[in-house]
Structure formats: C-alpha cells, structure tokens
Structure 1
Amino acid sequence: MGLSMIRGGRGSVWLALAFWPCALLAQTAPPAPAPAASAAPAAAMADIPFASPTAAAVTVPSAPEAWGGERTGQEATLSDRVVGYRIAAELDAARHAVSGKEQLTWRNRSDRPVGSVYLHLYLNAFQNEGSTFFTERKVLTAHGSSRGAATLKKGEWGWIDLKSVKQGDAALKWSFVHPDGGPATDQTVARIDLARPVPAGGTLTLDIDFLSQLPRVVERTGWWGDFNLVAQWFPKIGVLELAGERGATAPRWNVHEFHFNSEFYADFGSFDVSLTVPGDYTVGAVGELQGQPQQAGGKTTYRYVQGDVHDFAWVAAKGYQALDGGWQGPGSPKVAVRVLYPPEYAGSAPSQLKASTDSLTYFSGTLGPYPYRTLTVVVPPFNAAEAGGMEYPTFYTTEGYDKVEPGTVTQYMSDFVTIHEFGHGYFYGLLASNEFEEPMLDEGLNEYWDQRMLRERKQDIAFSTSFLKAIGFTPSLGGFAVERMGADLKQPADPLGQNAWDRFSSSSYGTVYTRTATAMHDLEERLGKDVLERAFKEYYRRWHFRHPSVADLRATLIDVSGDARDVNQVFDQYVYGTARIDDRVASLDVAEVLPAAGTELKDGKRGDGDSAALAKQIAKQREDWKKAHPKAKPGEGPFPWRSTVTVFRDGAPVPQLLRVSFADGSHEDVRWNDDRRWARFEFTRPSKAVSAELDPERKIYLDANKLNDSRTLEADGSAARRWTDDVASLLQAFYSFLVTL
C-alpha cells in the first residue's frame, strides 16, 4: 500500500478480536443476494485446520523444498503455478457492478485428499458495518489515524454475491467462516464443500458465477464518477500451506478474514481475463493485452493474460489519457510502460513515467531482473485519492498532481509514492510474502528499499515551493530521517513482526513502514552497505516466486554477512521484540593531574606535607609554562588532564562509538559494545576533554533521543537552537506548501 510522508496519510500511519472457535454460517446454492444462515457441520473442517488467528513472525526457516524449491530459471514456468483463473467479466458502468463467470483450477499440493476449499470474498468487507473490516476500524481509528476512513451511504456499499458454484455438474454448497474469530456478520471467507474430494496431487475445477458490486472508493478499490478501480473483485482461493512452509508443521489453510489493517496472500498461477466495458471507457489491467480489443453493440472487450502472478486488478474510466514509454535491462524482457491519468493530472504523468522506469532500473539492478513485459500505472481522479497508492502485479495506482515542480515537496511526493508502489512489485509481487501475518516483509522492506533508491538519487524531501525557491529558502530532510521521526522509537507497542491486524492501534501498524525502514538502515550501518545489498540479492534469488517468512529473511542475512550476532540482535530486539534504544552521555568531568599534596615516605623519612610550598611550586610551573607556550589554547598546561566520561544505557544494548574531543583539537574514539547499563571511560592527556559524543557519525537511527547523545564541558545552546530553527523552518515551509494546494 502506498503512503504519504505526512504520517496519518495514505498507507503510512495506520485490534484484534478475541479468538473464539470458528463460527460457521451455511446456505444452499444458488443463494439469494442476502442469504439466510444456518449452522453447518464442523466436522467438514476438521481434517485441515486454519492457520492460527494469532499467527505472526515465523521463527523457524522454511524447508529447502518449500513451495517447490528454489527457482533456477530452467523450469517450464517462472513460478510453480498452483492456480489458474479464466474469467469473463462485464462492467455495468451505471451501477458500478461487475458480472463474472470464473473457471478456477487449483492443484492439491498436499499428501491427503481435500474435501473443502476456501474462497476470499474481499468485497464483502464493504457490504455493511458488521464486517471484520468495519468492526476493527471503529476501534483502531479511535487510537490513531489511517486511510480508509470514508463513510459509505445508500448506494455506495460493495459486495460479492456468489450466484452458483459447480464442480462439474454438481451444484455446491458454501458457508461463511471466520478463521480469525471475527464477527458472525463478516462474510469475507467462504468454505466450499466439494461433491468429490480432490486427491493428493490432483486438480480441482470450479465454475463460479458471481456479481461484484463495487463500493464507492473507501480503501484500495471502488468507484468515483466514471472511474472504476476493480480490485479484490473475484472469488479467490486461499493458500494451502504444507509442513516446512512459513513455520507450518502440517497442512493448514491460510485464509484470513479481510482485516482493516491487512492486505493479501495468494498462490502463484495464471490469469486469462476478458473484460467488457462501455466503448468510450479506457481500460488498463494486470498483464498483457491479447490482440486488438473487440467492439460490438457499443461495448469493447479486452483480453489480458498473465502467468506467474497471484492477483488481478483493472481500471475502467471515461475520459482517461495514456502516456507510453518503454524500458529494458539486463536479464529482463522489453517492458511496455503505460501511465493512465485523468486530464486534471496531466502535469504529473511525465514524472510518474520517469519514476517508474527509474525504479525498473534500480530494483532490477539491486535485487533481480523484472520478469514481466508490462507495467501499468494508474492515477486516480480528484476525489478518489483512496484508490491511489495501491499495488498489484504489473499494475499499481499512484497519486495525482496538477503540477509537479522539480525540487519541491510535490516532486518528492509524486516520486516517492510511485517508487513505493512499484517496489511492491518485488516485495509483495515477486517475493509474495504473507501480508496478513508478516507485513514488515512487504511494507517495511519495500519502504527501506525505496529510501535507498531515493538516497542514491540524492533526493531529499525538499519543503519548498516556487516562492520559497525564489527567495533562496529551500529546507530539506533526508528520507531516513523522516522515517525515524515517525517510527515510534520511544515506546513501541508492537514488534515489527507482529501480524497486521492484532495491533495496539492503526498508528502502531504504521510503524511497520517507518520502524522497519529505520531498523534496516541501522543493520546496513552495522553490516556495511555492500554486504546488505548482496544479502538482499540473495534473498531475492532464493525466494522470488515463493513465499518467504521473516525467519527466511534472517537466515539469508546471516548466511551472506556471516554476522549472526548483529543480525540476531536486530531481529530479537525489533522484529520479535519491542526494544527501545536510548544511550546518552550522562556526565563529562575533567581535572588536572597535579602533584599530590600530603606527606610521603622518602629515604626512610616522612616529609612534612607542606601544602603552601607545593602550591608555590605549582604556580611557578604554570608561569614558566605560559612563558614557553604563549599561543597555548585554553585547557592546555604543564600538567596532564584526567577526563572522565560516563555513559548510560536506558534501553537495549547496541554497539556504540564514543568520540571524546580535547582542547588541543585532537579526539579519541572508544567502542562501547557490551551489555553494561552504564560505563565510565577515563582519558589522561596533555589537554582536557571539551566534549563527548555517542554515535558521532549518525549511524544509529533507532536511538529514541539523539539530543542526549552528546555533552560539552561548557554550556552550548547551539544544538538546541539549531533543532528549533530547523523545525520552525520545516513547519513554515510545510504550511506554505499547504497554501498552494
């Protein structure tokens, strides 16, 4: 999901229901649009259980043969295709409804017969406020802001009606189930009881008639005016995971409800989809257009085909325009890139085309080749912004601007959202992690890789407008610094590896983006930029067209870096835990090392300890030294100085560098890399220490408070004044930007 850098905007600053035994609601086929429910036998589900409703970060790496094993490129297909969809759909533009006929094929990868399968009916999240989505939204948005906050009115709700489901000639029954213990009124997961079980290794074919009513755009999908983003619109089969895959110890159905703060997870397969729309509508979709569109009776039918993907979305809109481009890189086919946009946002289309092709270059070069032949970018119209910032394979939506000025915050936002949504094509698309249970593998890692790309572009957030640039006032901030500001480092509520829905608040879900990016930034600083990049290339090589877990990421990082200590520390503290870092310089004390007063034993006799005489001796030494060193700096003299620095750790341990600077301009670095709560370091040198600073190279972004990292011998308000001035400047620039919108 895309995000705005203003936290609380789209996809950035984003309850878990108690776990009760799965409730079952049954109906006979074909159902009425609003079916009556009755109890269904629980025994039908006993053989293969659901994945746990508390599933989250996996700790055990997947087996080498998981998901068919590593893809070498020598196989007949890019992925081990488990599913196939042939769909013929027609859009009723006046009603914003899609009628569809779907032939679903599914391969039983398990070692046992399967008597029931499960379908996601995502659009039912928007049919009423009794869904899991809306139930959770009420609670989570009370404790943090999020996208998807629109209120639906009469004529604006959305749903999927199953008209019939057949296995051959047999009409099948279905029931609504609640794998996560959601409300009985949720209908986003349906169990289909088969007439004939699918044997181990066998293939199931289902013929499904359905009607999808799009909601008014509320989140990720829907309509506004003559614009229709048709996403999560067809019945989609759940994932049957096997032992050794993402922590599973036996076959299980991974088929979570549509939660407010979660996205999607599905098997790789092939799609062959025909779309019929009014003749004056523009269409874009996942995959490649086959031949010329066919026109008849004022309607046009488009056929799109794409293999080795796990979802399909499309757009149909009146009055849209297209900007075409192309790209090709090492190991990739020639890619046709198309930006579809409404006239009011024509000014941003060239920028989004360039950001897309630049992303193809960067992600292909740093992770692995882009394997598809198309890339379609959709700019939603004004008033449909909630349809923006959303990703599907080879297809994503971004944000529109009437004008994109180079070097302004508008330029940054246009580029960032476009790059972010493209990046999902790798972390959500090709790596296909489970966004329900481990959202950090998609949103978090993608956010980190986006910021790496922007850093390489030397593209900071410029809080500037044309007027500010004209007067020479162009404040800016680096992307990782902004991520740190929104990462909730002082008191994190949830581990990064926690699932998407079982979180303290939507704002805590938002830290999946920001705190993951910050944690990966700090891990990069520990391991080295090149080492980290090699590790991610290997992660992509091992796991593209499969479904890695957090444990698989950790194992790859350790294998490539050889540094289990640093990798495990970051994962234990942040991915699996809620650690907080706040190291500080507690004190800086200096004292001259003067001849000691008092008595001493010399030649068998004790002196009288004449303090007055000693004082005269010290004074004379000072006077003589000043005459010999007329240009000496303050803090230098005839006697050495003992400088003592005390550091304190208010949180989890992290390797620190302490830099102590001295009056003569020199400095000394000391490593503090142990588990002590506090440590004291002493330095005896010709000149006294004037300052002490932890993390002088600013590598540890996870530190909750950077202002207490340093201390000077003399009071110095410049740092506080600088921070105050910077914040004031950024706010002034931001408010000036708002005025221009």
Structure 2
Amino acid sequence: MAPAGASSVAAPVVPVEIPFASAHAGLIRTPSAPTAWGGPRTGSEATLSDRVVSYRIQATLDPEKHTVDGQQQLTWRNRSDRPVSAVFFHLYLNAFESEGSTFFTERNVLAPEGGSRGLGKVKKGEWGYIDLGHIDQDGAPLKWRYVHPDGGPATDHTVIRVDLAQPVPAGGSVTLDMAFHSQLPRVIERTGYVGKFHLVGQWFPKIGVLELPGERGATEPRWNVHEFHFNSEFFADFGEFDVRMTVPKAYTVAAVGEQQGDPVPEGNDLIWHFIQADVHDFAWMAAPDFKTVETTWQGPGSPTVKVKVLYPPEYEADAQPVLKATTDSLTYFSNTLGPYPYKTITGIVPPFNASEAGGMEYPTFFTSDNAKKVKPKTFSEWFIDFVTIHEFGHGYFYGLLASNEFEEPMLDEGMNEYWDDRMLRERKQDIWLTTPLWQFFGVEPPLSVFGFERMTAILSHPSDPLGQNSWDRLSSSQYGTVYSRTATAMHDLEERLGKDVTEKAFRQYYATWHFRHPSLADLQATLSEVSGKPEVVADVFDHYMYGTDRMDDSVSAITSDEVLPQAGVSIKDGKRVELSSDDNDEAIEKQRDAWEKAHPDAKPGTGPFPFKTTVTVWRDGIATPQVLKVTFADESVETVHWNDQRRWARFVFTKPVKATSAELDPEQKIYLDSNKLNDSRTVEANHAATRRWTSDFAALVQGIYSMLVTL
C-alpha cells in the first residue's frame, strides 16, 4: 500500500523475451486447444481467416539484372497476452547467396550423390540474395541483426531480429515500413529466372509466426521462425496482400490472387496490381511471349472461380491438359474435402530448361511441368496430370489448412500426395510405363498410383518417423518418403477404416482446421473421433507417423500330404490287431487302384485319402491384421484371420483334396508390407510370385522418383 498522500503510479510493463520454437521441433502428440488460432471458422465471421498480418508492396522488376526492388508496408497484430519488443523476419532468398547458408550446408550432407531437387551448380553471377535498405517504425529507423534459431552456421542469413522502437502491446498492432532489394538466382530451388522467364517466390521480407499456448503443442508463446533448410518449405500467418508489380510492357504477369483491372502504362512499363486476402504467401511470374487459356468453374459453396493457365508457345500441348486437370481438381477436392473459397486459380507451364521452376505451389497460384507431346495412355500424360493435381492439391493442404511445412512436412506433402492418389484412383488413371527399361524389369502398363508409391517408400529400412521435421533426416532420399510412405500408410489406414469413413473424417478435418494451422496430433484426433476406431488410427500413427517400424509378413512354408492308414497295433472289436508295414502298403495300393477305376477323370490332388495341409506364416516386424487364403485342387478356398501378436503361426486344414497355394493379403490391401514377393507360396515350385509384385525393385526406381520428390 502506498504511503498516505502519495500517488499510485503503475510500474512500466517490461517486455519478456519470447523464445524460439525448438530447433528440433516435430512429432507433436498433444492436440491443439479448441480455441487455437481463434477457433474454427464457421463462415459467419467478417473474414475467411483470422488475419494477423497485411502486406502492401510496390515492386519493380529489372528483367536484365533479374532483380526486384521493393517498398513494403507491413502491419502485424500481436495475438499474445504480453508486449512484444522484437519481431523476426524470414529473408528466404539469402539461402541462395553462398555455400555457407543452412540450405547449402545441408545440401552437401543430405544429397551428396543426387536424388533431389535443388542440386544445380551455381555459376558466377547466378547467386540470389535479399538486402534490406531500411526498416522504420513510425518514422524511427530500427536496428536489426541476423539470428540463427536452429543453430545453423553464422554464415546463414535467412532470419533476422528487428528490435522495435516501441513494444507492441498485447492485442495491439505495429506498422513497419521497409525497402528491400532482391537478386533472383538462376532457378535452383523453386524461385529465380531462366532467360527472360522469372518465377518470383520467397522474394520479400516475411514476418515469422508467434504461436500461443495450446497451438501445435506450444506451452508458452514462441516465435516459429526457422532457418531456410534444404528440404523444408514454409509457415506463415494468414493475412492480406496488396501488391503492385512494375515490369516492361512486353512482359505478362500472373500472380497470387485477383488482378485489379488492366495493367496501367507508365513509360515503357506496365504496373500490374493484385490483391488477395486470407492467404499466407505471395508469388508471381513475369515473362514475355506467354499465352493464356482460361475458363470458369463453379461448385457448391464456392464463388465462381476464374481458372487460367499461362504457357510458352513451345508447350502449347500442355495448356488444355493442365486446364482440365485443374478444373477436375477443383471438383474433386471441393467434393471430398470442402469448398474452394477463392475466386482465382492460376497454373503456369514453365518454359524449356526451367524444370526447377516447375512443380511449385502458392495460394491460388502454382507451376506445373512441361512436355512437348501429351498422348493418351503414356507416361507424359500421367505425369502432366499428376504434377498439376499435386500442385493444385497443395492449395488445400499447404494453403487452406496451412500446416507447418518446416516441422510437419507430412501434413502437407504426405497428405496431399495421398489425396492426389485418391483422385487419380477415382479417375482410374494408372501410370503408363512403356519404355523398354521398365519392360525389361517386368513392369507392364498400367501400374496403379498406390503401387507406384509403395515402390518408392523404402519400407524395408525407414530411417525417420514420418512426423519428423524436414531437416532432421538421414538423407534427401529418406525425406522423399514423406510423400510415398505417408501415402502408403494412409492407403492402408483407409483399408482398415473404410473409404467412406476416411473421407468423412477428412471433410471434418478440413471443416475444423481450414484457415488455421493443425498439427499431426490434430489430424489423429479428428480421424479417431470420426471413425470411432481410435485404436486402429493409433496403431498406424504410432508405428509410422511417430515411429520407424516396418512390417514383412510371409508364408514361410506350405505342405499338403495324404493322411494314410498307419502300420502297427490297433484295437478292433475289443482285440489288438497287428498290421505290418507291407500289409498296410498293400491295402493302401488296393484302395488307390479301386478309387482310380471309380474316378477316371479325377483331378490331380484328389484321391481316396484326405489331405492334411499345414501352412506356416512368419512375421518380421510389427503385427498387422492379416487374411490367409489357402486354395485347394478342387478350387475350393479356406480363409483364416491372423490377428494377434505371435511372431509365427501354423494353420492346419484337413480336406478331401490337396492344397495348391497359400497367400497372405489375397486382396492386396496391405501396401506397407515391405516385401510382397514372400506373401504367397505354392505346394509345387512356382516362380510366378517374382512377377506378381514387380514393385519390389525399389532401388532402381528411387532414382526415377527423385523427379517427383519435393513437388
């Protein structure tokens, strides 16, 4: 209590230092709070997302120097309950400024022998970087410095700390004005130039995410602002973008969001203006001579969507296939997940020699791939469709669901891959591999999309849990299984839950978490609740999402022998009677002769005596519910369920006929089994099994799959 007569003066609020998210974040097991990220969006709110940040950017492209000069005004809202005295920004382009960046340092370790994107050699004059001119708060210049939230090398300059002149109060906002100069690299990893083509991504200072307790496993406020790792992508708050780009008159521009009228002439340039709210990133393309095809699409709960595809003349063959795959994707994803809420979607076909710019996604904007010819039932047709569907699908899993691609890449890359495969399966669009190389290895077209995923999932030796972050990985090849192993695991989970139940669960996942930032634990909670089978969901998640388990069930032996009378002493009519071996053999032969005379057309494997069939199954790895199918000479079938924890089991059948074969997983529902070649055996030697699952030459296709990795 203050002395009498003294006035009471509140003590000044001293901002508390807010820590970084862990440098080894990932594997989140605690579901987020119901109120996380402002709670579920019901559609009755004034805005689609709980907008945290807004960007107003004026940018000028110099296509000769491949630079962008920008003026940016950013307004950021402090969602926490405490004042914030420092904010953090990503300067992503600095990943490409030198071999000392975290990106290049990890590249040398994770992908020394290839098998990944982003491996091109950078020649003189082809590096990329971003320089800050100034940062002001209400006219006061601010100090900033490079920091290393993940303990990366001192030569990494992809994250900065900006100390504010005045703290941002709890619930308050701050506006920062800044100038920046971006030097685009020659395309090396999803951004840059090739000739006159410019894909301008990761090009502006982007503020980090301040996560609150109850969000993605956080127990206290923390800055989620990781360095730009080799395998990682992005994470940002939802907000608004209002961007004007000045480019030469000969250039065409496409970008995230809605174009605001025709471009405005200014001397020899045009000023293009795009606006998009309720997204968390912005990218654009500028190039001369590009052409456009477009259409509109309308679906339940969605606005009328303007669909555009821009392409260079040499790849005109791709324009209509990309357009159709995009509109088909709008229909499929809207029907199976939820409505598409934006008014635009734009696809870009990259020009010749710019494949590193292909296969990249931003909200409402993506790049596909290119092919000179797109013929029906060829690999080129499937590949163009697959890449288009995949990049569009990111608009849901990366864009609308906005998971953290740094820490939980499987929630975007893996779940998107799974949903893309479901769409291709729905289309009955298998993979047509018609080259002599594939045929030499016994692969005949078509190959199912989930079969292809299984081929490349490294199921025998997984090194890292699927739910692990993007950088704590053994290699880029192992990181690539975030796509294929996740799709395979989800395929098998769907088989156990049922297709309709799985789809219902994902619709609920979208309804609850779109315009928010769910974690792996949030996905598991939704699947468990909707399916009503939490133990089945936990079985898959514990072993594969949070663990590195493997499975390999096999039929290790099958015998089928006649049950013959036995020599020796037996009791007959109360007396012991001896039957010698010779007499027993003679009696057996007489019965055989008599039976054969009575059954002249009998099939092999039948006779006067019953057959005892013994099948031994072996489990190398974790237990998974299995079905064993035993086929007999008369084409009858016996099925049994092997649904326990035994390492091995033996099943015995006594029937009038001999067995011909035994097979685990006869409907081929279990794709996580690392070796399908040992799933079946015949009583007589039969090498057909080596041709039945041609997918078990994964070492070969790992190199081919690297084309698809990190799309």
Report the TM-score when normalising by structure 2.
Answer: 0.93
Amino acid at match of 1:285: A
Q: Secondary structure at the match of 1:333?
A: coil
Give deviations 1:329-353, integer Å, cap 9, x for gaps.
Answer: 1111111111111111112111111
Is it true that 1:704 corresponds to 2:668 in the alignment?
Answer: no
Residue pairs, 1:183-194, within 5 angstroms: 183-194=153-164
1:636, 1:663 within 8 Å by CA — same for their partners in 2? yes
- 2:38 aligns with 68
CA contact (8 A) 2:455 2:695 kept: no
Q: Which residue is equivalent to 2:301?
A: 331
Instruction: Report the counterpart of residue 84 of structure 2 in structure 1.
Output: 114
1:485 is matched by which residue type in structure 2?
Answer: M
* Distance (Å, rounded) in 1 between the aligned partners of 2:419 and 2:15: 41
CA distance in 1, matches of 2:316, 2:561: 68
Which amino acid in the other structure matches residue 519 of structure 1?
A
The answer to whether the Cα contact below 8 Å between 1:143 and 1:505 also exists between their aligned partners in 2 is no
CA distance 1:465–1:129, change in 2 (3 Å): closer
Q: Is 1:551 aligned to 2:516, yes or no?
A: no
**SS of 2:276 mapped into structure 1:** strand
Query: Residues 49 and 252 of structure 1 are in contact (CA less than 8 Å); yes or no, is this contact kept in structure 2?
Result: yes
- Alignment partner, residue 203 of structure 1: 173
Supply the AA of the counterpart residue of 1:656. Q
1:153 aligns with 2:128: no
Match of 1:10 in 2: none
Could you tell me which residue of structure 1 aligns to residue 8 of structure 2?
Answer: none
Identity of aligned residues (%): 67
Deviation for aligned residue 1:204:
1.3
Q: 1:453 aligns with which of 423, 430, 433?
A: 423
User: What's the counterpart of residue 184 of structure 2?
Assistant: 214
Q: 3-state SS of the aligned residue for 1:675?
A: coil
1:591 aligns with 2:551: no
Shift of 1:626: 2.3
Name 1:534's counterpart in structure 2. Answer: 504
Give 3-state SS (helix, strand or coil) of 2:494's partner.
helix
Q: 1:724 to 1:563 in 2, by over 3 A?
A: closer
Query: 2:532 aligns to what?
Result: 562
Alignment of 1:96-107 (within 5 A): 96-107=66-77
Q: Give the match for residue 6 of structure 2.
A: none
The answer as to whether partners of 2:66 and 2:193 remain within 8 angstroms in 1 is yes
Instruction: State how 1:40-51 maps to structure 2 within 5 Å.
Output: 47-51=17-21
Between the aligned partners of 1:355 and 1:632, the Cα distance in structure 2 is 56
Is this contact kept in 1: 2:15–2:167, CA < 8 A? no
CA displacement, residues 555-578 of structure 1 (integer Å, 9 cap, x when unaligned): 111111111222111111111111
Map 1:172-571 onto structure 2 (within 5 A): 172-464=142-434, 475-571=445-541
- Which one of 587, 593, 607 corresponds to residue 623 of structure 1? 593
Counterpart of 2:543, as a letter, is Q
* Corresponding residue SS for 2:34: coil
Letter in 2 for 1:92: D
Letter of the 2:236 counterpart: A
- Runs of 5+ consecutive residues of structure 1 not aligned to the other structure: 1-43, 735-741
Per-residue CA deviation, residues 581-628 of structure 1 (Å, 9 max, x unaligned), is 111101001222223332234565433343333333333332332233
Residues 721 and 515 (structure 1 numbering): CA distance in 2 closer, same or farther, change over 3 Å? closer
Please identify, of 160-169 and 398-407, the stretch whose mean Cα deviation from structure 2 is larger. Answer: 398-407
**Residue type of the partner of 1:413?**
F
CA distance in 1, matches of 2:143, 2:526: 44
Q: After superposition, what is the alpha-carbon deviation per residue over 1:192-242, rounded to whole angstroms, capped at 9, x for unaligned?
A: 111111111111111111111111111110011111111011110101111
Kindly indicate whether the alpha-carbon contact (under 8 Å) linking 2:676 and 2:696 is maintained by their aligned counterparts in 1: no
Give the CA deviation at 1:144. 4.8
Q: Which stretch has the larger CA shift, 429-438 or 208-217? A: 208-217
SS in structure 1 at match of 2:640: strand
Question: Which amino acid is the alignment partner of residue 616 of structure 1?
Answer: E
Which of 674, 696, 710 lines up with 2:644 in the alignment? 674
Q: CA contact under 8 A between 1:156 and 1:215: conserved in structure 2?
A: yes
Tell me how large the CA RMSD over aligned residues is: 2.1
Aligned partners of 1:331, 1:724: CA distance in 2, in Å? 43
Pick the aligned partner of 1:655 from 625, 628, 633.
625
Question: CA–CA distance in 1 between the matches of 2:677 and 2:361?
Answer: 38
- Give the aligned partner of residue 683 of structure 1: 653
DSSP 3-state at the match of 1:142: coil
Taking the aligned partners of 1:94 and 1:616, their CA distance within structure 2 comes to 99
Q: Deviations over 1:148-182 (max 9, x none)?
A: 11122222111111111111021110111101100
Question: Aligned-pair distance for 1:51?
Answer: 0.5
Distance 1:276 1:479 in 2: 43
Name the CA distance, whole Å, in 1 between partners of 2:244 and 2:71.
Answer: 10
CA pair 378-45 structure 1, distance change in 2 beyond 3 A: farther
SS at match of 2:23: coil
Alignment match, 1:635:
605
User: Matched residues in 2 for 1:335 and 1:132: separation?
Assistant: 39
Paired residues of 1:144 and 1:505 also in contact (CA < 8 A): no
- C-alpha displacement of 1:483: 0.8
Distance 1:389 1:723 in 2: 30
Amino acid at match of 2:342: Y
SS where residue 432 of structure 1 aligns? coil
2:152 corresponds to 1:170: no
Q: Which residue of 2 aligns with 1:576?
A: 546
Residues 265 and 432 in structure 1, CA contact (< 8 A), matched pair in contact too: yes
Q: Distance in 2 between matches of 1:115 and 1:721?
A: 65
Within 1, Cα distance between the matches of 2:194 and 2:612? 72
Query: One-letter code of the match for 2:201?
Result: A
Q: Which consecutive residues of structure 2, in runs of 5 or more, have no partner in the other structure?
A: 1-13, 705-711
1:723 Cα deviation (Å)?
6.4
Q: Deviations over 1:28-58 (max 9, x none)?
A: xxxxxxxxxxxxxxxx997211110111121
Q: Counterparts of 1:725 and 1:114 in 2: how far apart (Å)?
A: 54
CA contact (8 A) 1:172 1:193 kept: yes
Q: Assess if the C-alpha contact under 8 Å between 1:519 and 1:702 holds in 2.
A: yes
SS state of the match for residue 585, structure 1?
Answer: strand
Partner of 1:58, secondary structure, is coil
Look up the equivalent residue of 2:667 and give its one-letter code: E
Give the structure 2 partner of residue 4 of structure 1.
none
Q: Provide the C-alpha distance between the structure 2 equivalents of 1:440 and 1:404, rounded to a whole number of angstroms.
A: 30
CA distance in 2, matches of 1:581, 1:443: 23
Aligned with 2:97 (options 109, 123, 127): 127
Task: Specify whether residues 366 and 724 from structure 1 end up closer, same or farther in structure 2 by C-alpha distance, changes over 3 A only.
Answer: closer
Distance 1:611 1:322, change over 3 A: same
Paired residue secondary structure (2:569): coil
Q: Which amino acid aligns with 1:395?
A: F
